[in-house]
Structure 1
């Protein structure tokens, strides 16, 4: 720890600071732990063989040096921890750096001078025990076990033996994009199940480059035929397209970040009869809304308020997605504001579909009544609908199944295929019918508004949104009310 003078009467002590004799320039100097020293050598670090990690701080002012020191302490801690417990990505990065130090580009070996390759082979050979160097029976991949992780990975790169498994692909993808975990695990689970029926190595440990285009096309057919399902029910072409989008994104990231080279086999996949199996989702008409509201009012009058009917009312009166409503925290409902509203935002137990889904939605009089009823039912719970939401999850699918069954059993709605999402489509129609501008509709429902200008400014005042919602829902007044 150096004692540095700031003035004739003020001095400061800074740890990890060192000065050369007769020089005012400050250096960061930290002793390299004994267990890290051999790891630095194995990784080909420029600090290999040294006792201290030394870097110039490019200043003689301790006040300027202090934040730089804190940053370097954090950096060295991370680097040394990575050396002690290397991740696959870390080892691959060390291997690339090791090759670069010897003038080798693993992505362009054809242009690498033979002298550089021979020199690096000598480096690898020097790491091998004498008995291994003299053996004529240990070759190729068998040598990996005698090399450090970084040198073994570099050796694999030179020989084109770098393997990146499907399991690593999905793990790396989910780590980079945590919000995709549920969908990614589902889709890769189907891919593992499909590949498990094929000859060869276990699906999860297969190199992603071993997946060929015929595998992809057969996987698509396998999904369409319902072979992934116990009941044998196939999925729609739009669902297959969504699955392929996830796989394409994961493979693209793996190929790019791990410099695997080659094409992505999930790019431009043709799905037989794509889009021809689409069935138009039914949407609520004004008459059907009135039947629904009469049914809700009748149920409430006979049995009192309950969470499902409150959820249904809020979906109908706001046009929000079911999960957006089911996953509300009690603090998200602002019933005492000048314009009562719901604050739709991300929560650990419930994400939102897009960035545009984060919004404030005004409450109509009927919606406000439903929120207050839900608050009474929730009691002290931090969740507005605790029967369907907890700190771990939002069970919107459970609420959806119960509500669809109930909706389709009501007078005037029997024999339809109306569901919760039909109310979202219905709100678009209601707003459109009263002349609500498209960008205002998008703000209320959380759809992305096309055009660059949509991303500028603060958006629309809550009062304006409330006025359009009131105009749209006034048409739904029934005799029962």
Structure 2
């Protein structure tokens, strides 16, 4: 059987196959290499099993470079070198003693220590996982191909840098972390220049916990290990000072007038929908036209996971009632979209919600000087209205996207939940 797939080669005299693809000249500097070479296995079955994944990885590298957002090329960790060398030697397959000795001499002479050790000492102990290993695994499993991938990657790398700088141990082994180390990292983050807000440090620690806990779950070498960063928090009283405020009635009236008088039509509609739904900004800017359901007795937005717009958590998947001016804005946006699939194509992209936020914040600051009042304050404002209207917490969570299994148990199926949420939102907004 002959393998006829693009970029598949079998080096002369070798049993193994590889994926070998030349990088276009204008992208070689961005990618830091002239070729993309990846192993495929030593049999036709292995090639067919691995080809689709390997080809997609290569396509992704090319695509990222074309966007001008090539990921920073980092040196392989000791564990990555160990794993790579072990796989490479396994692909060479069994060999007689004379061949093995000759190959070992060649590897030693040409300065390939990882391959030499893998060949000569196949049962050697694997290096202990380090923070860099955990970060790379987390980026691969949880960050790649998500909305705002670049921004998330930069934040994760910033967190990694804080740990390395605080502990002064290079790339620390994960099992070496102690509770004293965790406190040292937190205190370093709080005193770093320029001094970050406590809420920022809180987010950094959440990121670090997620990285380490994911590694504990996925790496066999870390099974049973408990992260000393778990339960480590920034003081609650300092965090409370960073909470965003709700709009006062006067601030909201002035800001609405400013936005509706100066912002683009798309952002005017986004603002109107945010004000009367309590949605997060990214939830609205990432809407598809088909997510808007303006018909029936209970019009709604269908918020779901989309390739260009990830929701914050499982509770964020929900139907959000459209009432009053939010319904009118959604209808206008849907009509303006015409045959487009995206409701707001200018902002339904990586970083789009941030761009919308920056523009809207300029309008907010024209009339509101309080730094704790932001675009996100619209969510807090609606939350206040729901509380004042005595809306049960379960219904509040259903509308705002903090729902749990208990909500569905209390209010039945999707239609019943939507009807209950619509009645509650109308009452909170005084819409008859």
Pairwise same-fold verdict (TM > 0.5): yes
Equivalent pair of 1:318/1:361 in contact (CA under 8 Å): yes
Whether 2:212 is the aligned partner of 1:251: answer: yes
Equivalent pair of 1:326/1:394 in contact (CA under 8 Å): no
Are the structure 2 counterparts of residues 266 and 462 from structure 1 closer, same or farther at C-alpha, using a change threshold of 3 Å? same
For 2:47 and 2:156, locate their aligned partners in 1 and report how far apart those are by CA, in whole Å.
39
> 1:267 aligns to what?
229
Equivalent pair of 1:328/1:384 in contact (CA under 8 Å): yes
CA offset digits 1:334-369 (Å, max 9, x no partner): 234453221111222211011111111121131122
User: Counterparts in 2 of 1:38-57, with a 5 A limit?
Assistant: none
What is the CA-CA distance between 1:266 and the residue it aligns to?
A: 4.0
Whether 2:309 is the aligned partner of 1:350: answer: yes
For 1:439 and 1:264, locate their aligned partners in 2 and report how far apart those are by CA, in whole Å.
33
Whether 2:128 is the aligned partner of 1:166: answer: no
Equivalent pair of 1:248/1:264 in contact (CA under 8 Å): no
Larger Cα-atom Rg: 1
CA offset digits 1:99-135 (Å, max 9, x no partner): xxxxxxxxxxxxxxxxxxxxxxxx99998628979xx
Q: 5+ unaligned residues in a row in structure 1: which ranges?
A: 2-33, 39-52, 54-72, 99-122
Whether 2:246 is the aligned partner of 1:283: answer: yes
**TM-score relative to the length of structure 1:** 0.60
> 1:240 aligns to what?
201
Are the structure 2 counterparts of residues 81 and 256 from structure 1 closer, same or farther at C-alpha, using a change threshold of 3 Å? same
Equivalent pair of 1:170/1:185 in contact (CA under 8 Å): no
Q: CA RMSD in A?
A: 4.7
Please point out which of 148, 158, 178 is paired with 1:189: 158
For 1:216 and 1:352, locate their aligned partners in 2 and report how far apart those are by CA, in whole Å.
30
For 1:281 and 1:80, locate their aligned partners in 2 and report how far apart those are by CA, in whole Å.
50
Equivalent pair of 2:277/2:399 in contact (CA under 8 Å): yes
User: Counterparts in 2 of 1:172-211, with a 5 A limit?
Assistant: 172-178=137-143, 179=146, 182-183=151-152, 185-192=154-161, 195=164, 203=171, 207-209=173-175
What is the CA-CA distance between 1:224 and the residue it aligns to?
A: 0.7
For 2:139 and 2:420, locate their aligned partners in 1 and report how far apart those are by CA, in whole Å.
40
CA offset digits 1:367-417 (Å, max 9, x no partner): 122123334554554322233223xx142223223323423433xx55573
> 2:359 aligns to what?
402
For 1:167 and 1:79, locate their aligned partners in 2 and report how far apart those are by CA, in whole Å.
26
Aligned residues: 361
Q: 5+ unaligned residues in a row in structure 2: which ranges?
A: 2-12, 18-42, 54-75, 90-94
Equivalent pair of 2:278/2:378 in contact (CA under 8 Å): yes
Higher relative contact order (CA 8 A, sep 6+): 2
> 2:22 aligns to what?
none
> 2:280 aligns to what?
321
For 1:367 and 1:234, locate their aligned partners in 2 and report how far apart those are by CA, in whole Å.
36
For 1:369 and 1:308, locate their aligned partners in 2 and report how far apart those are by CA, in whole Å.
14
> 2:430 aligns to what?
474
For 1:131 and 1:382, locate their aligned partners in 2 and report how far apart those are by CA, in whole Å.
58
CA offset digits 1:142-175 (Å, max 9, x no partner): 97533546x75x5331xxx514343332222232
Equivalent pair of 2:408/2:417 in contact (CA under 8 Å): no
The structure in which a higher percent of residues are helix is 2
